[in-house]
Structure formats: structure tokens, C-alpha cells
Structure 1
């Protein structure tokens, strides 16, 4: 007997690839074409995978006080952010746990210090110090990471000429 239930799951009709229960088990069309969405992983994410595991597995009090491990959601968003910021011209950032379960990404090179506090998904505060020009910037980011991406690109820029002009 092939009895079909008289109910459907909530929002089924809003799912574009949902087919009625009378269809076969496969959602593939008759031609059998398959489209796969891969999750590319940058060299940075591959390099930092073990560090993410360590930071999310820290014991309570890891800092000698009441530090908690980095939350999984914070680490997952940080990994996605790192994936989007990736450039072959730079080394991976340093991952630093914060006592409250958040984390920081750090780069210190080419006379720049860039620190990115990942407080949670779409809740980021970034700080940049330009050591050549003795200037500092801070941005709070929820959705548009363009400026942060530009900061990371600037990290990859050799600033020899600027160092010579500054007398360095």
C-alpha cells in the first residue's frame, strides 16, 4: 500500500524545488542534469582549520579567569569572512580568542596593524593603524565589508617608497 499523508510541512509551497508527493523520490529532471554547489576553501581557511577547532574547544577559564571558548557561530562567521577576504598575496591572519567567546583576526605587516573583532555573525568592529602615517581608523560593520576588504588589499601593498619618504 502506498498511502500518502494528508498533510504537508510548513512552507513547502514556498520552496522552489518542492515537488508533490506523487513525483518520484528524485528532484532531478528527466534529462538527469546535476548542478552542484561547492564550498571552495581558501588556503587561509585550510591553514586555520585546526586553530578554529582549538579555539572552539578551549576549556572554561582558559585565560586564568572566566574566559569561555570561542562560540561556534562566531568561529563559523569568522571562517566565512576569512574566505571572502582571502588574497594569495598575504599570509593568513592570526586568530586570537577573546575572553567573552568572540575572536579577533590580526595582521601586522607593511607598516599596518589590522585587527578585526568578530563579535558574532554580521557584528564586526575593525581597527587599522597606519604606522607610517601615524593614523588610525575604526569601523563597525554589519553588512557591507567593502572597506575592510580594501584594508586587507592595502596590507599586501609593499610600501617601500613611502618608508623612504618617511625617512625609514
Structure 2
């Protein structure tokens, strides 16, 4: 089995990945292990790719204190979460680095504030403020992201209603 360098990367150009190539010479079955990385399909992830690169490449002390770059693991999970939350009726979230290497996804629109703190894989805290009704909600999420998905759907529905009312 030959190894061929394949320069596909996830968020940072300096991290090469390797792809195994079989030459088919042997008639014996070769058990190969494959790791597949899905290509992002949503417009949000494509739009935010460069921002992910920036956040995972921040210098120590980027915040003027002891801030560390967003961890690759955190960024990767956030990208997967963004992929799942994608709604074509909404703009991509703002990506905000946190000083401890985690990140936040934010939408501020239509009298809603939605902030999603991605602390690590399957460790998420989400906050929503309804500015019209003066209500706030906070949820901690480990495995079931249904309620967060519903928040995003409501945000999109609200946006569509406002656009229709405005004639847009």
C-alpha cells in the first residue's frame, strides 16, 4: 500500500491529511481503514470557513490577556452543529471566540437574540431572549438539539413574516 499526500485540510492550511491508495497488485483482500470527512454542504459552513481558520489560528493573548485560540475540536463540532441548524431563510451566525478556547454562535435579529456557546463536542449552552415579550430562556444540551433547532426555525419564521409585512 502506498501513501499519497493529499493536502485537504480542515480549517488550517498547515495540517496535511493523508489518503491511502491501494495499487491492486494482490488478489488477497486488504482490509483498509477509512476515515471519511463529509464535505460541508450548507452555505453557512462554506461562508464561515475562513472565519473558522482565523479563530483556530489566533495567537495566545489575542484578547489582550491570556486568550487562547479556539480549539480545533470545538470548531469542528461547531461546524457540524451549524451544518445541522442550517436554514436558508437566515443569514449565517456570527462566530465569536471565547478566551478559554471555546466559541459562540450568535444571531441578533427580528427582536430575538440567540447565542449558542459551544464548549466542546456535545457540550452546548444556548440562550434566547425574545425582546418583544421580554422573556429569556437558557438550555444546556448534550445530545438532543431539537429545542435549539426549533429556536432557529422560529427565528426564520419570524424573519419571513417580517419580510412579508415589509413587502420584501
CA spacing shift, 1:62–1:40, aligned 2, 3 Å: closer
Contact 1:110-1:156 within 8 A present in 2 as well:
no
Is 1:98–2:103 an aligned residue pair?
A: no
Question: If each structure's strand is expressed as a fraction of its own residues, which one has the higher value?
Answer: 2
CA spacing shift, 1:38–1:123, aligned 2, 3 Å: closer
CA distance in 2, matches of 1:111, 1:121: 29
Contact 1:129-1:135 within 8 A present in 2 as well:
yes
How many residues get paired? 133
Q: Per-residue deviation at 1:82?
A: 0.2
- Equivalent position of 1:119 in the other structure: 119
Instruction: Quote the RMSD (CA, aligned, Å).
Output: 2.3
User: Structure 1: any 5+ residue segments left out of the alignment?
Assistant: 1-20, 28-35, 164-168
Taking structure 1 as the reference length, what is the TM-score of the superposition? 0.73
CA distance in 2, matches of 1:66, 1:85: 31
CA distance in 2, matches of 1:45, 1:129: 25
Q: Per-residue deviation at 1:23?
A: 3.1
CA distance in 2, matches of 1:38, 1:83: 11
Q: Per-residue deviation at 1:131?
A: 0.5
Contact 1:112-1:155 within 8 A present in 2 as well:
yes
Highest CA radius of gyration, 1 or 2? 1
CA distance in 2, matches of 1:138, 1:38: 31
Contact 2:94-2:106 within 8 A present in 1 as well:
yes
CA distance in 2, matches of 1:124, 1:132: 25
User: Structure 2: any 5+ residue segments left out of the alignment?
Assistant: 1-25
- Equivalent position of 2:29 in the other structure: 24
CA distance in 1, matches of 2:50, 2:115: 21
- Equivalent position of 1:42 in the other structure: 42
Q: Per-residue deviation at 1:22?
A: 7.6
Q: Per-residue deviation at 1:25?
A: 3.8
Please identify runs of 4+ aligned residues in structure 1 that moved more than 2 A: 21-27, 36-40
- Equivalent position of 1:137 in the other structure: 137
